[in-house]
Amino acid sequence: MNKILNSDILKIIARIMVGLVFLIFGLEKIPVPNVFAGEIMNYGFFPLFSVNLIAIFLPWVEVLVGIFVLLGIRLQSAATFSGILMILFIISVGIAMAKGLDISCGCSSSHNIKVGWQKIFENLGYLILCIYIFIFPNSKFSLDYIYGKFTENRKANN
C-alpha cells in the first residue's frame, strides 16, 4: 500500500489537481476584487473593515499557493497552507448552509457555484489531497527535488 501511495505519478496528479484549483480560482478573482468582496459580504460573518482586505489579499495567496504546489516548491509548507485554506472554506460554506443562505461560494468570479453539500464534499476531497501532499512531499517531479540533487552534486564536486 505504501508503494502505491508513494508513487510519483499519484503525487503529481494530486499536486496538479490542488495547484490548478488554487491557481485558476485565484487568477479569476484578482481582476475583479469588487465582485469577490460582494461574495464575501454575502456570507455575513466577516467584519466590514476586513472584506476589502480579504478580497484583495486572498486571491494572491491562492495564486502563490497554487504555483508552489504545482512546481513542488516547499511542498509541506504549501500543502499545509492550502489545507488550512480548505478547512476555512469548508467552515465558511458550512456556516452559510447552517444559516440557510442561498449564495455563491465565492470560489470563482466567472461561475456561480452555490454553497451546499456538493461544495463541502469537493473541498473535503481537496483537503484529503492536501494532506496526502503533506505526508508524501518528495517527488522527482518537483523543484525542491531538482534543487536538492543540484546541491548534492555541487557538494560532491567540491
Q: Per-domain residue ranges for the chain? A: 2-157
Residue 84 to residue 81: CA distance in whole angstroms: 5
pTM, entire model: 0.88
Residue 58 to residue 56: CA distance in whole angstroms: 6
pLDDT in the model for residue 82: 97
Q: pLDDT > 90: what percent of the chain?
A: 69
pLDDT in the model for residue 100: 93
**Mean pLDDT value across residues 68-97:** 95
Residue 87 to residue 69: CA distance in whole angstroms: 17
Residue 60 to residue 27: CA distance in whole angstroms: 8
pLDDT in the model for residue 105: 87
Structural contact between residues 25 and 108, judged by C-beta atoms closer than 8 angstroms: yes
* Amino acid identity at 151: T
Is it the case that residue 89 has pLDDT exceeding 90?
A: yes
